[in-house]
Structure 1
């Protein structure tokens, strides 16, 4: 009966596929990213162009933290998967251990004796020769799974320190970036902001369309527009200003049935938002029901409207280079316990903030995906 039980394990040996990159490897690689970001932060504070260096550092921290969260999520999923497999195979594993234990109790000559004589002994020897490698392979698979569970648990326990260092580091980098932008004096100025005229314009308009149209006529004494290059050739190729997923495309109704001509992006809390092109800051501040708004003008007759940021950088009238930080999203970075406890859910709840992007050419709003490269499936 032992041999019948042992043969049942032969079919269980095959079919255990393994991912090319394990969850543990992914999490370790992410921890290395955070370590590199920490070193970059030290160098950025000494950099001649501190704004550019700190922008890259914040983005490196954000990428490292996102990768570490994903690595932990995959680790938790893998641990749960192995746990379910082991639970489902408890009886079979117990029998496997019993067979292996029984095989080691008696001397080999006694084990090979068979009551039917030499022919039976020969047949039992052939069966043993066939089954033993499968039993060894199954035992090795069990040992590998148990070791992997141990590694994954140790990984998750050790991740708290790396996460805390990363969250502290990115906050320090954001603070340093904000200060560096405040201290910046090297940006050209196309016009001086007139807060009185802007306030009157806001008071007299009820729509974003009216406000955007009015902006182009209230500014006086502008420098030559040739300070900015033509960006028409980049239509459809611009990167989104923040790492995000498309929540709603242009003219898709929200939960209240409201349709807007822009994109709604789901972002992580405190994500850094950057300018997709070199542009003039036409406006920054609260506007109508859009919250805090930044309006960029890459070239005459073209405006990018970004709404939903908690903090905005720069001054109205400044000409900023492509990739310049223009603001931070709101929200709170998730706490250590929250990240570890929900890392296996994969629900996407880490993208708690929304950024709205509207593109206006002349007096008309156009689909932002004419300009920006996005995942059309959202």
Structure 2
């Protein structure tokens, strides 16, 4: 399955060779799939297997993004060439007629002119001047026709390519969920007090109050457990999910409501990972935020991620950097929807939103202070 998709990605890269970005991304995704396959073969522990499958899911996600972008650009280029050919229909017809006449006429007749030697000499000089231009036009026409045929072939084969990629991504997500359920080798900082956690959930009315009350849900500290400390990483952390920033810190939405965090648009079922080594403080539904994951990467610091469709991990575990903590909700679009989006130049596939909030002590801070600059637009 991994090698089959790698071949599909290589086809995509060659099909849009004039557009270096998706081609390069496709090649990189294929390489990551190979590396992930080797990691999976070499895995010796539950954490090794989770890491390998995480890389596999990420590679599939990147590959599908590259294919979407490649299809979008191929569709735009195909449409541009078709419009150009339609606008130049009469000109191209005359060019083809001239080339056909020249190719079919006997060579001696081309060298003779009815007015005699002088006319023949003049016509020869004109033909010598015109022939190179005709040749260039003919070569450009041939190249554009070949490109148009290649683009249409690529679009026609996109359905099978996308189907294989979507199936591979889904199989990798399923395997990842099972590997996380089977994982037993993560260190644990503390044992949760289930009763205290239930009481906190039932009595909490705000996210702030819930975060403040987490300290009372610890039943027992585990002696000698690692203590994550993210303080030195401030401003350098990678984002937990691939997406686009649509609302920044304390920015008002259409209703004028502000929230002390980021809102990130993602694709359905996108993988969410921890930006740094952190203790899992909470994972599950909370208030009106949907599924929420709260991580503690350092003393007094909490990372809050809300809006997930599925969450991974157990409270009290120390989660490695880059390890999955959940998947976004929603359902992946079908193949026809992806092709329609590509043809229309749209990116309606970013239909899910992840809310990211960072708390330092009792205060919230702008996530921009912790994460590397993120591309996108805030509204």
TM-score of the superposed pair, with normalisation by structure 2: 0.87
How much does 1:157 deviate? 2.0
**What pairs with 1:79-94 in structure 2 (closer than 5 Å)?**
79-94=78-93
**What pairs with 1:101-180 in structure 2 (closer than 5 Å)?**
101-114=100-113, 117-180=116-179
Number of equivalences: 360
Q: Deviations over 1:112-146 (max 9, x none)?
A: 44455544433322221111111111111111111
Q: Distance in 2 between matches of 1:339 and 1:27?
A: 18
Runs of at least 5 residues in structure 2 that lack an aligned partner in the other structure? 1-14
Equivalent residue, structure 2, for 1:44: 40
**What pairs with 1:1-378 in structure 2 (closer than 5 Å)?**
21-22=17-18, 26=22, 30=26, 33=29, 37=33, 40-41=36-37, 44=40, 47-48=43-44, 49-114=48-113, 117-223=116-222, 227-375=226-374, 377-378=376-377
In structure 2, relative to structure 1, the CA distance for the partners of 1:173 and 1:51 (3 Å cut) is: same
Q: Deviations over 1:73-112 (max 9, x none)?
A: 1111111111011011001001111211222343344334
How much does 1:51 deviate? 0.7
In structure 2, relative to structure 1, the CA distance for the partners of 1:24 and 1:251 (3 Å cut) is: closer
CA contact (8 A) 1:27 1:67 kept: yes
Q: Distance in 2 between matches of 1:200 and 1:76?
A: 55
Query: Counterpart of 2:258 in 1: which secondary structure?
Result: coil
Q: Deviations over 1:4-63 (max 9, x none)?
A: xxxxxxxxxxxxxxx993259956973894596388458626622211111111111111
Q: Distance in 2 between matches of 1:164 and 1:123?
A: 62
In structure 2, relative to structure 1, the CA distance for the partners of 1:376 and 1:153 (3 Å cut) is: closer
CA contact (8 A) 1:279 1:297 kept: yes
Query: Counterpart of 1:172 in 2: which secondary structure?
Result: helix
Query: Counterpart of 2:308 in 1: which secondary structure?
Result: coil
Equivalent residue, structure 1, for 2:12: none
Moved more, 270-279 or 93-102: 93-102
Runs of at least 5 residues in structure 1 that lack an aligned partner in the other structure? 1-18
Q: Distance in 2 between matches of 1:343 and 1:103?
A: 43
Q: Distance in 2 between matches of 1:280 and 1:20?
A: 44
Q: Distance in 2 between matches of 1:169 and 1:208?
A: 37
Q: Distance in 2 between matches of 1:150 and 1:376?
A: 35
How much does 1:205 deviate? 2.5
In structure 2, relative to structure 1, the CA distance for the partners of 1:280 and 1:35 (3 Å cut) is: closer
Query: Counterpart of 1:210 in 2: which secondary structure?
Result: helix
Q: Distance in 1 between matches of 2:294 and 2:16?
A: 44
Equivalent residue, structure 2, for 1:12: none
Moved more, 51-60 or 214-223: 214-223
Query: Counterpart of 1:96 in 2: which secondary structure?
Result: helix
Query: Counterpart of 1:309 in 2: which secondary structure?
Result: strand
In structure 2, relative to structure 1, the CA distance for the partners of 1:24 and 1:93 (3 Å cut) is: farther
CA contact (8 A) 1:31 1:68 kept: no
CA contact (8 A) 1:34 1:166 kept: no
